[in-house]
Amino acid sequence: GTGKTEIAHRVARYLADTHPYLYSGSELTTATADWSTFDTVGGYMPTENSSDTDSDADLAFTPGIVLNRLKDAQTDVQVNEPLIIDELNRADIDKGFGQLFTLLSGHSVQLPFTRNDQEIQLLTTDHLDGLPDEHQYVVPASWRLFATMNTYDKTSLYEMSYAFMRRFAFIRVPAPELPAGNDDIDLQDLEDELNQYVAGWDDLDPSKEELRAVGLVWKNTNQAVAERAIGPAIVKDILGYV
C-alpha cells in the first residue's frame, strides 16, 4: 500500500499527455498465476466465421496484451502505448513472457505463428526497413513497460530470474518515515503528515481524535519490526472503515 501502482499509472499517463506525438495512450493490467505467452504475446484462436461444431474451424493469430500496445488489432495501425503490469511476480515469468525475454533485451524475435503464411515478427526500430508489414510488430525505442511487485509476498509468489530482472530498472517505493517519538511535537508532525494524505483522499473527513488514534496505530505498527512497514493505502482503508 505504498502507492506503486498509482505512481506507475501516473507516469504512463503523463507520458501520453505530454508526448502525444510519441504515445497513443497507456494500458494497465494485472498479472495472474494463469498467465502464459497466449496472454502476453498471443496465439491461434478460431475466427468469427468458425462455429462451435466445426471440426475444421479456421484459426487466426490473435495478439496478446503486449502486442496490442504496439499495433491496433482492428486497423493494423502502429501504436505506442506504455504497458503497466501490476503484481508482476504473481505470474510465472518463464511461462508468461517466453519470447519477450529476447525482445526486452533489445533484439528482434520471430514467433512460432504465421499470418498470411509469414512468420510473426517482433522488430526493434533498428531492424525495420520501411513500413511494417501485416505480420510485423514494431517496438519503438520510446516504448516502456512498467511493472510493480510487492517484496513482502515474494516468498509465496513466483521468483524472477536474474535474466529477467536485468532487463528492468528497479525503483523501491518504501512506506513513509514516521516520527519516532511520542512527545507533542512528534505527534503533531504525525498528524500533519496524515492530514496531507487525507486532503488527497476523496470522501474522508475524520475527526481529530480518529486521525490521532489511527496515526498512532500506523506509527507503532511500522516501528515494531525493522523493514516491515505498511503504506498509506492501508491507513486510508482503516479511516474509511472507521
pTM value > 0.85 = no
Cα 4 to Cα 9: distance, rounded to the nearest angstrom: 9
| Span 166-184, pLDDT tens digits | 889 999 998 899 998 888 8
Beta bridge partners, 29, equal 85
What does the pLDDT read at residue 129?
A: 80
> Comparing 151 with 125, which gets the higher pLDDT?
125
Burial 114-126 (b: 16+ CB within 10 A, else e): ebeeeebbbbbee
What does the pLDDT read at residue 203?
A: 87
Q: Both ends of the chain: CA-CA distance in Å?
A: 18
| H/E element, 39 | helix 37-40
Beta bridge partners, 87, equal none
**Residue indicated by cell numbers 507503532:** 220
Amino acid at 241: Y
| Span 48-68, pLDDT tens digits | 665 555 555 688 999 999 999
What 3 state SS string does 92-141 have?
CHHHHHCCHHHHHCCCCEEEEEEECCEEEEEEEHHHCCCCCCCCEEEECC
Q: Is the pLDDT of residue 156 over 90?
A: no
What confidence category does residue 1 fall into, taking pLDDT thresholds of 50, 70 and 90? confident
Burial of residue 31 (number of CB atoms within 10 Å: 0-12, 13-18, 19+): buried
